[in-house]
A and B are shown apart, each in its own frame.
Chain A
Amino acid sequence: MMQNLFHTLLRGLVVLLVPIAGWQATVTLSGIPQYILPGPILVAQSLWDNAGLLWQNALWSAGNLGLGLLAGIILGIETALMLALSPRARWLLRPMLVIAQAVPVFALAPVITLWLGYGMPSKIVTIALVTYFPITSALFDRLVALPAGLVDLSQLSGGNPCRELLFLRLPHAVPGLLSGLRLAVVYGPLAVLIGEWVGSSQGLGHLMLMSNGRGQTALMFAALLVLAFLSLCLWLAVEALSRWATRLLLCG
């Protein structure tokens, strides 16, 4: 147990340290100017010096991200359930779902900003929109793919569609929901960046643009690192949720 933990830590350290050392070596040996590629020491320094600024902007981005994800997930689950229950809704909305998968929803960010302004609403809507579609379609695809034997079971038992949805389709669709969530936590941070690049006066994406414009490349890298850290945390949370759900559903 301790041995295992030690190995995990060691591996993490190596995986982290080797690229950083390579990065520093590249910077030192090649003589690339700081404003093109600052070394990791410089970036760390900038992280430290601008901790307050970064924290403030990270808070804003993370808040938007959290609210946007929440809205996208809840609406996505609701839509998928509604589509699974109602053939009429399916007939109406399914083509839209297919089109939304083929068209980059990200491209709507400028339009949304135009309509909703530079503040939080436009960011939250952008994030919700890009997470909504993958959640809806991943969940819906599993909801309607109940194995034939279970469909027979449901019909022979004489139950109603709502109970079938709750006790058969929903548990069967949990893996679909999880893969939707995995996509959502990848698309979410991207939507944060794009939303803020299109137009914003706060946030990590905004900070990146600003520091880039002012030649503060180290600060840009620092903001990027914070956003990457945020994404990583979300991803780890979904992984943990997925492992927990799988164990709960399959054994134990």
Chain B
Amino acid sequence: MTAPAIHIEGALHRAQSLLIDRFAITFAAGGWSALLGASGVGKTSLFRLIAGLPSAALLDGQIAASDGAPIGPRVAMMAQDDQLLPWADALDNIMISARLRGDLLQPDHAAALLSDVGLAGFERRKPAQMSAGQRQRVALARLLYEDRTIVLLDEPFSALDVMTRVATQDLAARLLAGRTVVLITHDPAEAIRLADVAWIATRAGILPCPLPAARPPRPPEAVSTLSSQAALFQRLRLISETGAA
């Protein structure tokens, strides 16, 4: 499993209007990239283009993997709402993609992943019988079952309470190590904790964002984490006030 880097360059449009002006960015191979930016700037639209899903936006430019192979079939995605099937239990939810393809099911492997995310014994629980944090961990196990090299996370932790969020972030950082992970977030703390590389999307383009020297996942209470967080917060505020960098 060699995870490629992803290069994107161009400008993002929606209908006749410009969403993000010309930019060129790289999501690091086998590492975590954070994509920050105000709500509505076009982050989700860009994600859908990367994944090859129907998107209302259009990229005047190109998206390419560093190894030149197509990206779509190597992508797994996780969104803010967990997108679990309400009628299926945890195991069936984890294996749903395999079932949709008609692949041979591996319930033992699914159960092992479920216990990796700390939910051993939850095999037969349905989503309605789990907390938001537990559901998000089932979604993480489903992502791992797919075993794709490119992982797109669209604000996956934003609906969780702070302590659950920190725990789920650590879990995801550990279990997704080695893959090319792109994380959309509006939370500066999350970007500072998890990212190897971070980008800030604005109407004027996508700007690089400095991070602490320590390797992620960085402890949320460390001074360097907190001061970077403060700096990023200041910068985001400046951007939202002036409309650009």
Contact = CB atoms under 8 A, between A and B. Distances in A.
Best-buried of B73, B76, B85, B128 by chain A (most CB within 10 Å): B85
Given A149-B79, A152-B53, A167-B96, A159 B102 contact: yes
Contacts of A160: 100, 102
A158 B76 CA distance: 11
Best-buried of A150, A159, A172, A174 by chain B (most CB within 10 Å): A159
A149 B79 CA distance: 8
The B contact surface, by secondary structure, is mixed
A250 B146 CA distance: 25
The A contact surface, by secondary structure, is helix
Nearest to A150: B83
Given A149-B81, A156-B76, A158-B73, A167 B99 contact: yes
Contact of A171 (B73, B79, B85, B146): B85
B164 interface: no
B86 interface: yes
A170 to B, nearest CB: 10
Nearest to B73: A158
Interface string A231-252: 0000000000000000011111
Given A155-B53, A159-B102, A150 B85 contact: yes
Interface in A136-175: 147, 149-150, 152-160, 163-164, 167-168, 171-172, 174
Nearest to A164: B100
A157 B79 contact: no
Contacts of A250: 86-87, 126, 128
B79 A168 contact: no
A156 B53 contact: yes
A157 B128 contact: no
A159 B79 contact: no
A155 B101 CA distance: 10
A150 B82 CA distance: 10
Contacts of A172: 87
Contacts, number: 66
Chain A interface size, under 10 / 10 to 19 / 20 to 34 / 35 or more: 20 to 34
Nearest to B100: A159
B77 interface: yes
Nearest to A251: B126
A101 B33 CA distance: 52
A174 B129 CA distance: 20
Contacts of B53: 152, 155-156
A247 to B, nearest CB: 11
Interface string A162-204: 0110011001101000000000000000000000000000000
A52 B53 CA distance: 66
A160 B98 CA distance: 11
B75 interface: yes
A156 B96 CA distance: 11
A150 B79 CA distance: 11
Contacts of B79: 149, 152
Nearest to B87: A249
A20 B224 CA distance: 81
Contacts of B126: 250-252
Interface string B99-116: 111100000000000000
Contacts of A147: 83
B99 A156 contact: no
Contacts of A157: 96-98, 100-101, 146
Given A153-B96, A163-B100, A163-B102, 4 more contacts: A149-B83, A156-B53, A157-B97, A159-B100
Q: Can you list the 5 inter-chain pairs with the closest CB atoms, starting with the nearest? A: A159-B100, A157-B97, A149-B83, A249-B87, A157-B100
9 contacts: A150-B85, A152-B51, A152-B77, A152-B83, A158-B101, A159-B102, A160-B102, A168-B100, A250-B86
Interface of B: 51, 53, 73, 75-77, 79, 81, 83, 85-88, 96-102, 126, 128-129, 146
